[in-house]
A and B are shown apart, each in its own frame.
Chain A
Amino acid sequence: MIRFENVGLRYGLGSEVLRDLNFAIDWHSFQFLTGPSGAGKTSLLRLMLLSLRPTRGLISMFDQDTATLSKDDRANLRRRIGIVFQDFRLLDHMTTYENVALPLRVLGKGESEYRAEVVELLQWVGLGERMEALPAILSGGEKQRAAIARAVIARPQLLLADEPTGNVDPNLGQRLLRLFIELNKSGTAVVIATHDIGLMDEYDARRLVLHEGRLHVYD
Chain B
Amino acid sequence: MQHHISINDVPHRLWLGRSADGYVLHVGDVVAPVALRRDADGQSVLDTGERQVPMVVAVDGDVIHIHLDGEAYRLAYTDAVTFHAAAAGGAAGDIVRAPMPGVVIASPVAAGEDVAAGDTLIVIESMKLETAIKSPRAGIVETVFFTLGQTFDRDAILVKLVSEGE
Asked if A and B are interacting partners, one says no
Chain B positions within 8 Å of A, measured between CB atoms, are: none
- Chain A residues packing against B (C-beta within 8 Å): none
